[in-house]
Amino acid sequence: NAGVMQNPRHLVRRRGQEARLRCSPMKGHSHVYWYRQLPEEGLKFMVYLQKENIIDESGMPKERFSAEFPKEGPSILRIQQVVRGDSAAYFCASSQAARGTDTQYFGPGTRLTVL
Amino acid sequence: QKEVEQNSGPLSVPEGAIASLNCTYSDRVSQSFFWYRQYSGKSPELIMSIYSNGDKEDGRFTAQLNKASQYVSLLIRDSQPSDSATYLCAVTSGSARQLTFGSGTQLTVLP
C-alpha cells in the first residue's frame, strides 16, 4: 500500500546551506501540495503542483523557496540559504484530481532543523 | 483573508463520553470541509469529509455542517484514550484547491 512518501524524514542543516525535500505522491495521484507546520502553529499551504507545472504558489515565500514536479521523479521543495526560522515540519499531500472535493492524503513529513 | 477558527483547547473528556469539536469559517464560498487527526509528531490523517448541509456519520464519528452559520463540527462518540490527538478542521474555497487549516483543537480522553 504505497502511500505518499517523503524523504528524508529528518534533515539538519546549518544556516546558509540548502535543503532539498522530496515527495512521491500516492500511486495514481498527479496533484501535489506542500504545507509547512511551524512549531506550535497550524498547517499553512505553500504550493500546489501538477506534473511539470506550478499551479498555485501563493503561499510560498518569494525568496529562497522553490518547488518543482518533473515529468519523471518526485516533487522537490528546495530551500536555499536556510535560516533558523525555516525550522519546521514540511508535509506533502497528494490527490487524484483537483476537484475541491478530492481528498488530500498526507505523507509522513520532513522535519527540518536549522542550526 | 480566508480564516478557519477552532477552539485551541485543550479539551478533556472522560473515556466513553462524547467529544464535541467546533470550527467556523469566514469564506462563504467554501465548499468542502475536512476533519483531520494529528498525533504528536505525526502527519495529519483524514477522519471525515463533508460537502453538504446536515450530518454525516462514520462509525463513532459524526460531522455536522451548517453553511448558513458557516459552522462545521465533529462529534466523537464513546471516546477512547486512543482518540487523544489534535483535530484539525480544513476547508477548500472557490476555485482554490489548497486546504486552509484551523489551528487545531487538542483533545485528551481520560481513562
B76-101 average pLDDT score: 91
Task: Say whether residue B7 is in contact with chain A using an 8 A CB cutoff.
Answer: no
Span B64-82, pLDDT tens digits: 999 999 999 999 999 999 9
Region B56-63: what's the mean pLDDT? 96
CA B46/CA B88 separation, integer angstroms: 9
pLDDT given for residue A99 in this prediction: 66
Judged by CB atoms within 8 Å, which residues 28-87 of B form the interface with A? 31-32, 34, 36, 42-46, 49, 51
Per the CB < 8 A criterion, the answer to whether A25 and A33 are in contact is no
pLDDT at A109: 97
Instruction: Give the pLDDT of residue B30.
Output: 79
Under the phi-then-psi rule, with left for phi > 0, alpha for psi from -120 to 50, and beta for the rest, what region is B9?
left
pLDDT at A22: 98
The yes-or-no verdict on residue A31 having pLDDT over 80 is: yes
A43–B44 CB contact, under 8 Å = yes
Q: How far apart are CA B93 and CA B72, in angstroms?
A: 14
Q: What is the number of helices (H) and of strands (E) in chain B?
A: 0, 11
Least confident range of A27-36, A37-46, A72-81, B36-45: A37-46
Contact B99 A43 (CB under 8 A): yes
Structure confidence at residue A102 (pLDDT): 80
Q: Contact, B55 vs B62, CB < 8 A?
A: yes
- Mean pLDDT throughout B91-110? 88
Could you report the per-residue pLDDT of A32-76, keeping only the tens digit for each?
999 999 987 889 999 999 988 999 999 999 999 999 999 999 999
Q: Which residues of B touch A43 (CB under 8 A)?
A: 44, 88, 90, 99, 101
**What's the pLDDT at B31?**
81
